[in-house]
A and B are shown apart, each in its own frame.
Chain A
């Protein structure tokens, strides 16, 4: 069935460095992707999204890249800060316009001082 997977379950980076979190998806019909950040004990927090007709989208300190050829999504976080420590999920909407997200397993990002 459809699935969204992450290449690395954990990622540790030095404060101030850039981090890249990767995600593979399998549903070629998906046209909308979202990255969420989840801190301990909280719900997923929206970070950035991208539609399938785009290759790249930038936000504040974050960039999402989409490669539809290899069904790959990545989240780049620039100049990481301690507050960036969390679990990051990519999600693929398969609801054909309606809400139906398929989530990856998540990557735990740890920022070292």
Chain B
């Protein structure tokens, strides 16, 4: 079956603009989380959604937000973009409930965002 799908794969935005990234989880997966990857900070957790509710949140400013739809697809939005928001944004999905062997976390290929 198809893996985690993220769109768009690449995009360039200007400082001050906003951006929306989309994620379609693996079929049957109900939990979706988002991560930011940069050379300086590595992989950092943004937030996690399950059944359209945010269950966990990382230490990012309020400019970073997300949502999940009834079909488990998710979007994240970054408003008032800053140069430091340039990063690879990764989406991950799992079945939901207790993560563990047999219910692990799979990543998509990511969306490369460049802010100029």
Contacts and interface: CB of A to CB of B under 8 A. Distances in A.
Interface of A: 31-32, 34, 36, 42-46, 49-51, 57, 89, 91, 93, 95, 97-106
Contacts of A103: 35, 42-44
Given A42-B110, A43-B110, 16 more contacts: A31-B100, A32-B99, A46-B106, A51-B100, A57-B101, A95-B56, A97-B98, A98-B48, A98-B56, A99-B56, A99-B94, A100-B48, A101-B43, A101-B105, A103-B42, A106-B42
Interface of B: 4, 31, 33, 35, 42-45, 48, 50, 55-56, 58, 90, 92, 94, 97-101, 104-110
A101 B99 CA distance: 11
A41 to B, nearest CB: 8
Contacts of A32: 99-100
Nearest to B102: A49
Q: DSSP majority for the B interface?
A: strand
A55 to B, nearest CB: 14
